[in-house]
A and B are shown apart, each in its own frame.
Chain A
């Protein structure tokens, strides 16, 4: 065949075709779409910047004002509201950890009737129909809620009662303090609890009253207590059976058995009555000597408190307070605390009555069957009712037994208000969008009475009730300002009732005095954090036993040895519950303490009893048997029982500026950040730990990993039990990275992943770290933690993952702080002194670390190290012997006699 050559014709043909095609392709224009930016942007939303909103935390009868940090529409941190004068920003573990519960995997998302999910409208229609029917039949509907602190909710319940007049409202608290308002009912004729002013007292005597921990309103009492501690003359004496947060702070602490409390109170009353020339109580038994205590109470402004739920004890306390003039100084009868309105008496009365004319029951905000299910007849009574409407955020025992299930919102998702004590009303705003069919209980009630007014308007109306005479614009301003600061003031005009001493005495004389028993007593205490199956609180080591992912009973070491038990052995309590038991120095003898909670698979509420129609939490005789243990108990610390001399010689060394060893003296420049932690104030509550964990995206590791010693908290609280003679106390030392000036960890990192910044902060460069873990070995404080696995799900390798709980991964990812890196597997991490906050440069120049922000006792102070050193004396370095010159200094007055 003839070879085809590229002739000129072919070339020109191809060339023309190419040019033509290129021209065609260029000219075929695709239609141009213009994108239009949003003309109207929400003016406050700046991507990356955080905003703070005031709100109110409410869980059952526990409430506290909070400040929530929102980034791009998502709440990522809960702090205390500093603007609120009564709490001054104190916050505890519960509110902070409840942030994750917004994304709780078991949240009820749809209303259901007989396990059939319904839409909101269907459900409301059905409920209205049911309520109408029951109303028409003239049957009773019982509404059971915890103490109603919200005035708007109260108003709505009144509206509900107007529409359905046969509704009877009962208030029951999760942890009963029923005897307290009952005692005031007897004493004054009015059922209420007055406002205890610890800040006005010079001497505070507390009998088993953990006012810093979980009694009535801990956030308020903590702030008051802090204020009282500033005074030199303040003295706090605690008589208690277990080791509580308040007991740790007490100057004098005496362990007593629960049954001894009554005799102590009787003796105290009689001694004071003798001194004051009043009538004595006729008590046949022998009473302990309280003369010195009585003298202290008479000579100063004193306040006596009791946390007991026995009516006799509360009456005695009221009588004593009356005698020592407490009602003139420290107790304000014109104001009432609203968190303790629960009335056990009426509820038990209701249950014991014949169940005729009972049409239905509405339970909202309390897990009735968890708390009361073991009492005789309660469960049967509940299940015998035809219409059982249960409103709850999470599934629990009561929702399992209910017919109509109604989902309610998390506190961050709805409008709410709550009466604070001092004439202020706290406000809660919705900061996160609730799921579609979920509303707050108040809104559900409004639906059922077909009330078209929405909850926000009701709350707003109450807020501007006193400003009706003002212009609408000014009213709006008042409303907005209230929302900004989180509260508004209202005028209370309560009449001050009068104490009838004679009536109390008559009653007391008629009651037999409880004898002191030598048998082992069981004592039930309220838990420190009321949260629902929250892995953050489950992982947090208990402040006394240092147990993580589990709950145990506490007893004294003497009792343990007498019964041949060692720490971690299991005991069977009253043939009901098996728990591990731990010996706590300072715990009263012949007594076992159990915290009331329904977590870790055990519901300890079934141990509570009933006495004179009030829930009873102390039992003089209990049956304790040693059993085979059903799981390993995880303690995150060794129990150290030592002396103050040991702490002074080896652990804490007085801070002395100047040259140490061969290194030249480290000059402290003006900008160096540092910390002073007052360990006299630290109760070990763990609020700082949770705050640090949430702020810095510290992952949860889970039970298995904690058992292997891989707990990832950057901040831990070292607990030392001090035993001197027969007095025991506890010293809590929060330990985080000490940011040593002569840091041993920095010299040993081979890749320069940890260096000292020019600020004086020990830096950790996550992306440079290759995970040799040399720094962890070199750190004398063991302040560094390591990512053994990928606990957060951020690594691209899927096999690395080890989640604490698979269901909570989404929750963790949703509350991530965008200012802080999330670390991958194989990287070392440690406290960074919240460097992201230092860098952010606040407007007023004051930066607070997360732990400082959260500490309810203001034990942690962060700032310029030179200023701190000049402001404080009695400063100590942790492990000063190691010569590391830490930037974290500890302040305490307990070693004064050794220096």
Chain B
């Protein structure tokens, strides 16, 4: 089906610009109700204490940490799509990357709430920050929770910046299209003075690739750090080196399942079938299948390595899962995670949205159960056989989970209202083969006195064909296009250099700071480790490298973006999609030449 760029824009912006109906308001109200339930749980926890949860002295972590790991896992899909699929040049990702990135940011924020809530003395949470305190005690960099703090804040920041960078062109479009004056001002300010020039597109394109390169290791490292929350303890069931890759695979798995659910809901509610077609759904399912098989391998690995070992405690733990008190959860988990997704081998299943949603919901539930089994089964059956403790989540914990989910839905609904859930510029780029440009001059009819000629083209193909001749003939000032054109040469920017400097600075700073804290300022013995326990420093160094590199690159990007001044401001009022601002002088013969080269209109 062919449509114009206008139609794309209309389809995708319509959600943002028009008033939404009662369905949106009802969903919002329900989510607010859920948030209130969560707030009640939070109030109870804060005032009455963690005692209101079902935790015991032996099972000291429960559903809250399960939720934490689950939400962080879900967050990984967005970054995976935006960074790794970008690096692999999977163009189909463009339909889903915006919603996935939004999901990532919201999931990280929600996940970050849980470690805060489960603190016994939440009013001393600032002890977790590496700042000087009155007691002169600093944080312990051996602890995975400190690595978590650094990793998750890095992840949140990088995801935010990535999301925002991709959003800038769409914000500019929104600023143009919206009629609400206040919204126009806000969008305009947020879009950092963007306009669709080639230089900006090239800068943007480069920035996205550089950030993707740095965000890709983040996908793997953040959930590895979260898994070390469990893996550094000597408790059977947790004391396993397979945890980091096992968790990362599970994270991507559950994240893609959640993305699938969101994407299909968006498609059905806003009638975006043209943009999120079965091909996209099938591709997401393919990734789900891949990670699902990897997860199945990990389960089998765990099962066999435990059964064939002579470690009595691990075997006992395994027996609890297979035939003991945890068998119900374990078999449910296997069913949801391993058996149901096998249906995806059939093409008929994996191209249909209805089946995919059901399978995706099962996977999300199965992954939650997997975290539950890992956390609580291990804690209930530790090493000494005489401990007696069963854990049942209390109402307060259930309310907190409901609150977190409702908060997610609430924020997502708000995001839908204010930001296009499909990247419009990327969509145009993706669908360009099917599109043609409807030539519409929507200016006021006035003529422009230009010193230089502007050639307008009907489609990208025309522009690309005319690019070289015009360049040789007249010289080109600027190109106006709705997306990045791959015909151009890449821009020389300072972004990579600054990124490298930032990264090295971050690494040195992280190592230096940890060295100073652990060896010089607080030379305390933790677990018999030497003062300079370098393996413990690595996660923070890694995350700091990424963080500082991304920050440096982002600052450079913004600076360079702002430097590209709109010299041809009057061009912005003309609504041609493809234009070349040539250096040709305003002469009739030039006009003829340009028309010969394929320009539809010359201004």
Contact = CB atoms under 8 A, between A and B. Distances in A.
* A and B are partners in one complex rather than unrelated chains: yes
Interface of A: 546, 635-638, 640, 642, 649-651, 663-664, 666, 705, 708-712, 718-720, 735, 740-752, 755-756, 765, 767-774, 776-778, 780-782, 784-790, 797, 799-800, 802, 824-828, 878-879, 882-885
A402 B580 CA distance: 112
Contacts of B530: 664
Interface of B: 47-51, 54-61, 115, 118-122, 124-125, 127-128, 135, 137-140, 142-146, 149, 229, 232-235, 312-313, 379, 382-390, 522, 524-530, 536
Contact of A780 (B138, B382, B529): B382
A649 B311 CA distance: 10
B379 A777 contact: yes
Given A770-B128, A777-B379, A752 B522 contact: yes
Contacts of A765: 137
Contact of A638 (B149, B234, B388): B388
Given A773-B118, A825-B49, 20 more contacts: A638-B385, A638-B387, A709-B57, A709-B388, A747-B140, A747-B142, A747-B526, A750-B149, A755-B525, A767-B135, A773-B61, A774-B143, A777-B235, A784-B57, A785-B57, A788-B50, A799-B47, A824-B121, A825-B120, A827-B121
Contacts, number: 203
24 contacts: A640-B386, A666-B528, A705-B51, A709-B390, A742-B528, A743-B527, A747-B529, A748-B145, A751-B128, A752-B139, A752-B140, A752-B526, A756-B524, A771-B50, A772-B120, A780-B235, A782-B382, A782-B387, A788-B55, A789-B48, A800-B49, A825-B120, A826-B121, A882-B234
A590 to B, nearest CB: 28
Contacts of B138: 752
A830 to B, nearest CB: 11
B526 A756 contact: yes
Pick from B125, B234, B390 the residue with the most CB of A within 10 Å: B234
Pick from A637, A745, A774 the residue with the most CB of B within 10 Å: A774
Contact of A748 (B49, B58, B135, B143): B143
A434 B163 CA distance: 75
Given A636-B388, A781-B383, A879-B383, A751 B120 contact: no
B227 to A, nearest CB: 14
B234 A778 contact: yes
B146 to A, nearest CB: 5
B340 to A, nearest CB: 32
A666 B527 CA distance: 11
Contacts of B47: 797, 799-800
A415 to B, nearest CB: 44
Nearest to A795: B49
Nearest to B391: A709
Contacts of A635: 388
Contacts of B229: 774
A718 B385 CA distance: 9
Given A750-B145, A751-B128, A770 B120 contact: yes
Pick from B49, B379, B529 the residue with the most CB of A within 10 Å: B49
Pick from B59, B387, B530 the residue with the most CB of A within 10 Å: B387
Pick from B57, B382, B385, B524 the residue with the most CB of A within 10 Å: B57
Contacts of A666: 528
A749 B143 contact: yes
Contacts of A650: 312-313
Nearest to B233: A778
A826 B49 contact: yes
Contacts of A883: 234
Contacts of B119: 770-772, 826
Contact of B140 (A751, A824, A879): A751
B137 A743 contact: no
A750 B50 contact: no
Pick from B140, B229, B384 the residue with the most CB of A within 10 Å: B384
B57 A711 contact: yes
Given A777-B61, A827-B120, A756 B56 contact: no
B383 A882 contact: yes
Closest 4 CB pairs of A and B: A771-B120, A826-B120, A709-B56, A788-B51
A700 B121 CA distance: 21
A750 B48 contact: no
B106 to A, nearest CB: 24
A756 B524 CA distance: 7
A741 B528 contact: yes
A710 B121 contact: no
B425 to A, nearest CB: 42
B430 to A, nearest CB: 45
A709 B58 contact: yes
Contacts of B127: 751, 768, 770
B51 A802 contact: yes
Contact of B125 (A640, A752, A770): A770
A169 to B, nearest CB: 50
Given A709-B57, A771-B120, A788-B50, A748 B232 contact: yes
B118 A708 contact: no
Nearest to B517: A752
Contact of A750 (B57, B146, B379, B384): B146
B51 A789 contact: yes
Contact of B386 (A638, A709, A752): A638
A768 B525 contact: no
Contacts of B526: 743, 746-747, 749, 752, 755-756
Contact of B312 (A649, A664, A742): A649
Nearest to A743: B527
Nearest to A639: B386
Contacts of B115: 772
A705 B52 CA distance: 11
Nearest to A776: B60
Given A747-B526, A768-B135, A879-B383, A709 B59 contact: yes
A786 B128 contact: no
Contacts of A636: 388
A362 to B, nearest CB: 48
A768 B120 CA distance: 12
Given A742-B527, A767-B135, A826-B50, A786 B142 contact: no
A717 B221 CA distance: 42
Nearest to B235: A780
A750 B526 CA distance: 11
A716 to B, nearest CB: 9
B57 A782 contact: yes
B57 A710 contact: yes
Contacts of B383: 780-781, 879, 882
B139 A637 contact: no
A750 B529 contact: no
A711 B387 CA distance: 12
Contacts of A708: 54, 56
Contacts of B524: 752, 755-756
B529 to A, nearest CB: 6
B384 A735 contact: yes
A712 B56 CA distance: 11
B527 A747 contact: yes
Nearest to A742: B528
Contacts of A752: 137-140, 522, 524, 526
B141 to A, nearest CB: 9
A777 B137 CA distance: 23
A793 to B, nearest CB: 13
A547 to B, nearest CB: 11
Given A744-B527, A789-B48, A771 B142 contact: no
A577 to B, nearest CB: 26
Contacts of B386: 637-638, 640, 718-720
B234 A746 contact: no
Given A746-B526, A770-B120, A879-B384, A776 B57 contact: yes
Contacts of B120: 769-773, 786-787, 825-828
B522 A777 contact: no
A637 B58 CA distance: 12
